Amino acid sequence: MDTLGVVSAPRITLDDVASAAGVSRMTVSNSYSRPERVAAETRERVMAAAAELGYGGPSPVARTLRRGSTGVLGLLLNDALPYAFSDPGAGAFLRGLTVEAADADLALQILRATGPTARARVNDAAVDAFVTLALADDDPALLAAVERRVPVVCSGSPALPGVPCVTVDNVGACRRAAEHVVAQGYTRFAVVTWSLGTGVFRDRLQGWRRGLEAAGVDWSEVAVHERAGNNRAHGLQAGHRILDDVVGSEERYAVLAATDVLALGVLQAARERGVDVPARLGVVGFDDVEEAETAGLTTVAQNLFAQGQECARRASGLVTGPTRRHPTRLVVRRSTS
Amino acid sequence: MDTLGVVSAPRITLDDVASAAGVSRMTVSNSYSRPERVAAETRERVMAAAAELGYGGPSPVARTLRRGSTGVLGLLLNDALPYAFSDPGAGAFLRGLTVEAADADLALQILRATGPTARARVNDAAVDAFVTLALADDDPALLAAVERRVPVVCSGSPALPGVPCVTVDNVGACRRAAEHVVAQGYTRFAVVTWSLGTGVFRDRLQGWRRGLEAAGVDWSEVAVHERAGNNRAHGLQAGHRILDDVVGSEERYAVLAATDVLALGVLQAARERGVDVPARLGVVGFDDVEEAETAGLTTVAQNLFAQGQECARRASGLVTGPTRRHPTRLVVRRSTS
């Protein structure tokens, strides 16, 4: 099913309620949308008539059509919807987005960008603007949103012509992360990343490669573990694959992970195998989520809350003009030093 | 502002695009909603004409009006929207809700139930059904939702006639929690709770009172700390107030908290004051969020994920009939034993 069940019944109109209650159409309308303008007794009479007839109030969709805007901000996510309520990085971004949306009295509508019906879902969404979170460059839902000619703001990536993209310098930040692990004396390297179909993760890969190659590392010897999702289980599984090599080697390995969540999975794998961090294995994440601090994870810190705020402000037209990259900072903790 | 900025411009219609591209209205419509039915070349011609004219596709609101349903599930929250993306209990509930919504190809729209415009927001929301999370009994947004005569499902509370309420036996669960701290030898008691305007928290208070009074405790000597929000800072602040009494007393104190998040704040206050848990202070929470286990918090476990799933199924008509209370279980950990 793609819609909620709708019960078919003779359609009761505002006029029916007005005549049953002996008031004007405007009084019925005001009883719903501006109750403070109607005497309490009159409103009670209207509501009693509405209840008897089974009338549910003026159609919000018809009202929206007259007004020309919906007061709703659409959010396109590239994964199952529950991700928004479990991933700490997505959570920080969404808190920033919703703080601004609430200030502007906008509701937030969450839509999946993936799946066969994504394009139809975007075309059907009654929203005034879209914000996207880390979508693939050729995501059909993103392209459908752009074709609708409502404001679209991308976070992370991609950078499409005419579409503002709120992001950080992923290449530069990851280059510095790679230089850090080389400076700490690690001699073998592996990468764990979410989908490389997404620009933000290709940029991070590019940054690590530049940093390692500048230090003379042969990139063809760096194992790249690409995973279909961003959660701890994926990081744990990739971590065990990498540790198969670590335990049979005399060299010190460093893992560069595209998100803290993946990095925390790698750290868990090291604990399960009894491999000493940072002596035998170093781990660097990206994001600086709350748990990175308690876990002692070295990471690239970015302010996802502020990026979410900027996306909402741009989507609602409060901020315009060219975007500037948000700052990042390498935070060195126990996992590499 | 209550809507996103809309640029006024001469309105371009589907007919304009059809005549510019030299195709039928249906071909333009299909190019947007069923691109697989249109030859790639034809669709490109349509999109080029649309781009030149500045046409953004058929109006989703008009389409929704024709179809009679929106494919959107509305969620009414009793706090600022960002709460949904930070509170672990709300997160578990929302993951369950969104797993089911995604299965049914429904989008999720999050609305604030609070504030002066809440009633208008509910009347204007283009949704097919509402789910509410722990709203006050007289919440105006909830009453507006019920008046709209679309399906409404309450989680936690209140129990309104004709409106299914998905919840647990809060009175019984808290009575058992109170009996537990008495059995553990605590002799002085305090309560930390979120707003008592919400039925679910009044029920928990009632349960603690019954359990303590059954053990001969004078309820008038139990300090009730009611807080306006549910976060760790509120729990920390209430915890320090309680600890002011604990440190000057020879008796063993137990704190009964309405949520784990508040209880974790109380535990943090005890750490800051160097008060021994469980020797001098016992703490019991409610929910069994993930951090309760790592913190060693005794708590009442409930499955908020399953409750979220049931709310979505009831809102979409997949489940009907009377509700049954979800089970709870007292999980005893280091904070009381």
Rounded to an integer, what distance in angstroms lies between the CA atom of residue B267 and that of residue B279? Answer: 13
pLDDT attached to residue A118: 83
Q: Nearest-CA residue of chain B relative to A119?
A: B33
Instruction: Answer whether residue A66 shows pLDDT above 70.
Output: no
Which of A2, A4, A95 is best to mutate for the B interface (most B CBs within 10 A)?
A: A4
**Residue B269 pLDDT greater than 70, yes or no:** yes
Q: Strand order of the sheet with strand A298-302?
A: A223-226, A188-193, A253-257, A281-287, A298-302, A328-331
Residue B11: pLDDT over 80:
no
Q: For residue B61, is it left (φ>0), alpha (ψ between -120 and 50) or beta? A: alpha
Question: Who wins on pLDDT, A200 or B50?
Answer: A200
Interface test with B, best of A28, A55, A72 (most B CBs within 10 A): A72
Confidence of residue A64 (pLDDT cuts 50, 70, 90): low
- In this prediction, residue A292 carries a pLDDT of 94
Nearest to B69 among A4, A85, A92 (CB): A4
Least confident of A281-290, B19-28, B328-337: B19-28
- Evaluate whether A45 touches A3 at the Cβ level (below 8 Å): no
pLDDT value of residue B279: 97
Look at the alpha carbons of B65, B69, B72, B77 in this order and tell me if their dihedral is positive or negative: positive
> Å from B170 to nearest chain A CA?
25
If one compares B201 and B121, the residue with the highest pLDDT of the two is B201
Residue to mutate among B16, B73, B79, B110, with most A CBs inside 10 A, is B110
**Which of A54, A101, A110 lies nearest to residue B149, judging by beta carbons?**
A54
Find, in chain B, the residue whose alpha carbon is nearest to that of A143.
B32
Q: What is the pLDDT of residue A53?
A: 85
Within this chain, domains B68-166 and B170-303+326-331 share the same CATH topology: yes
Lowest mean pLDDT among A63-72, A168-177, B58-67: B58-67
pLDDT number for residue B56: 79
Angle at A24 between CA A19 and CA A29, to 5 degrees: 105
Model confidence over B40-89: pLDDT tens digits? 999 999 989 988 888 877 767 666 656 668 889 999 987 666 777 888 89
Q: What is the DSSP letter of A136?
A: -
Residue in chain A lying closest to B144 (CA): A32
Q: Which residue has the tokens 């007839």?
A: A53
ipTM entry: 0.71
Which has more pLDDT, A210 or A115? A210
- pLDDT of the residue at B67: 64
User: Would you identify the CATH topology of the domain A14-58?
Assistant: 434 Repressor (Amino-terminal Domain) (1.10.260)
* pLDDT score for A8: 41
Other Cβ atoms less than 10 A from the Cβ of B137: the count is 15
| Omega before A116 within 30 of 0, i.e. cis | no
Top mean-pLDDT range of A104-108, B125-129, B191-195: B191-195
Averaged pLDDT, B301-318: 94
Q: Give the pLDDT band (50/70/90) at residue B126.
A: confident
pLDDT value, residue B169: 98
Q: Is the pLDDT of residue A123 over 90?
A: no
The residue with greater pLDDT, A80 or B125, is B125
pLDDT at B295: 93
The predicted model gives B167-191 an average pLDDT of 98
Rounded to the nearest angstrom, the minimum Cα separation between A195 and chain B is 21
Give the model's confidence band at A61: pLDDT under 50 very low, under 70 low, under 90 confident, else very high: low
Contact state of B82 with A102 under an 8 Å Cβ cutoff = yes
**Where do the structural domains in chain B lie, given as residue ranges?**
14-58, 68-166, 170-303+326-331
| Whether residue A311 has pLDDT greater than 80 | yes
Contact B2 A71 (CB under 8 A): yes
Which residues does residue A211 pair with via DSSP β-bridges, in sequence order?
Answer: none
A129 - beta bridge partners? A73
Give A73→chain B minimum CA distance, Å: 8
Residue A56: its chain B contacts at CB < 8 A? 147-150
Could A70 and B112 be called an inter-chain contact, meaning their C-beta atoms sit closer than 8 Å?
Answer: no
- For the ranges A149-163, A183-197, B2-16, B110-124, the maximum mean pLDDT occurs at A183-197
Task: Using pLDDT thresholds of 50, 70 and 90, give the confidence band for residue B6.
Answer: very low
Residue B148 has pLDDT above 90, yes or no: no
- In CATH terms, B170-303+326-331 corresponds, of 3.40.50.2300, 1.10.287.1770, 3.10.450.50, 3.90.1150.200, to 3.40.50.2300
> Is 3.30.70.1450 the CATH number for A68-166?
no
Task: Give residue-wise pLDDT tens across range B150-175.
Answer: 899 999 989 898 899 999 999 999 99
Q: According to the model, what pLDDT value does residue B2 have?
A: 38
Mean pLDDT, range B271-285, rounded to an integer? 97
Average per-residue pLDDT for chain B: 89
In this prediction, residue A117 carries a pLDDT of 79
Fold entry, domain A170-302+327-331: Rossmann fold (3.40.50)
Please report, for residues B53, B167, B330, the alpha-carbon distance to residue B203 in angstroms, rounded to integers and kept in the order given: 60, 11, 17
Q: Is the pLDDT of residue A68 over 80?
A: no
Residue A35: per-residue pLDDT:
82
User: CA B201 → CA A307, B157, B218, distances in Å?
Assistant: 35, 9, 20
Contact A330, A177 (CB under 8 A): yes
Would the pLDDT of A5 be above 90?
no
Cβ contact (<8 Å) for A64 and B61? yes
Give the residue among A119, A120, A121, A151 at the shortest CA–CA distance from A138: A119
Give the pLDDT score at A63.
64
